[in-house]
Structure 1
């Protein structure tokens, strides 16, 4: 077993095992609460993974997790939102391929935190912001940011929160949007020269265990009331935004 775990990636076997367990737990959190697992996962991976591999590997694991969640909730997907989000994803991916740059440390985190907190506690977004054009812009912006910082889930979910009324629609539509968004990372980082081959064993193991966590989380989701789900959803988004706010302030301070 130790030899098998060691062979999964360039990381030690014990670290690989820990990441596999984290994948299952964070997938269950996202499926049950609607958001949070992706950011928690990238925070854990950042502690043990080389910087060059962090965002590409995280993106592939999240692709598998979101595809599994989409498959389990496909009946509740808002297809009109997906149809508008998809062109934005293409635009954002093209921009990320040609403009893969970083803003000053901390600025991205502060911008995302501000948007999420506004979406949770501020007045509703204007109706035109939730229409076709607004959704295209949201898709392009979050896809581009995702290629820079890895976890754009809180920003996407904050937008989906405004456009969907029911918990299952929120989770299903969010999962479909994120599946498409993470799929672009195969091309963005492939063109950038990242070699996924060395990480395939760990990727498959994390995706498989992540699906188990997703299945458990979806079962829990069906038993949550709309009121309780909304409270958990807003609470988790707020905590993640405050975490991003603190990270942004720390990075700006040097």
Structure 2
């Protein structure tokens, strides 16, 4: 039965469903990180051509559920400024999207994650309607390349809020619309979604459960020590992707 979920082996499908629940709970409780962790894990077992579209649809469900559960805290003005950029970025991605050589995708994801964890930080001047629109366009375009641009979007959203709930709600809504564009972008590129549909639905359902549990922890979780451990885990997975991507580039 598990084998019917996708072209992957049954135990791998089960592991991805369970991981979807965990990473959705992580994003709900901490506000960021689940999507990046999920794509790093998926990249270890999933074909590169399916990685970003499948991850995007799963994250659409995860972020959509979180946005619905926290809608009362949503900053609608910021979301309205972000959305036109999402549309522009999606159109650019659909026009420019090309097939990358084997290994390049893994190296792009690893570099993005390492910079997000240990780099000097993203520009802090992305305030105001124009900066938010530009951030929406840029991150939506990059999302079609590296998949998990959550840290970049969060860096913009975080500048507008000091409280966690408005940040979590607005971030989830922005990411929902960003991931929604991937159905259009990869549909134009010819990706066949139906082969992966059962797995995506199972991961989305698990993500709803994880989100509900994560939001219950949101007010209780102290994340300073966890943040250090989490960045360390992401770094190890990113280094694994560098090794994997370099091997594929070299034809290993």
| Pairwise TM-score range, normalised by the shorter structure | 0.7 to 0.9
- Asked if 2 retains the 8 angstrom alpha-carbon contact of 1:110 and 1:245, the reply is yes
- Asked if 2 retains the 8 angstrom alpha-carbon contact of 1:92 and 1:144, the reply is yes
- Asked if 1 retains the 8 angstrom alpha-carbon contact of 2:36 and 2:113, the reply is no
Q: Which runs of 4+ in 1 moved over 3 A?
A: 101-120, 231-254
Residue 161 (structure 1) aligned with residue 163 (structure 2): no
- Please name the residue that 2:137 is paired with: 140
- Please name the residue that 1:189 is paired with: 186
DSSP 3-state at the match of 2:218? helix
TM-score, normalisation: structure 2: 0.85
Paired residues for 1:75-114 under 5 Å: 75-101=72-98, 105=104, 106=107, 110=111, 113-114=114-115
DSSP 3-state at the match of 1:47? helix
- Structure 2: which 5+ residue stretches go unaligned? none
- Please name the residue that 1:118 is paired with: 120
TM-score, normalisation: structure 1: 0.84
DSSP 3-state at the match of 1:125? coil
- Please name the residue that 1:19 is paired with: 16
Q: How far apart are residue 78 of structure 1 and its match?
A: 1.1
Q: CA RMSD in A?
A: 2.8
| Aligned residue pair count | 242
Paired residues for 1:55-74 under 5 Å: 55-74=52-71
Q: Structure 1's 132 and 213: CA in aligned 2 closer, same or farther, altered over 3 A? A: same
Please give the alpha-carbon distance, in whole angstroms, between the structure 1 residues aligned to 2:205 and 2:45: 21
DSSP 3-state at the match of 1:215? helix
- Structure 1: which 5+ residue stretches go unaligned? none
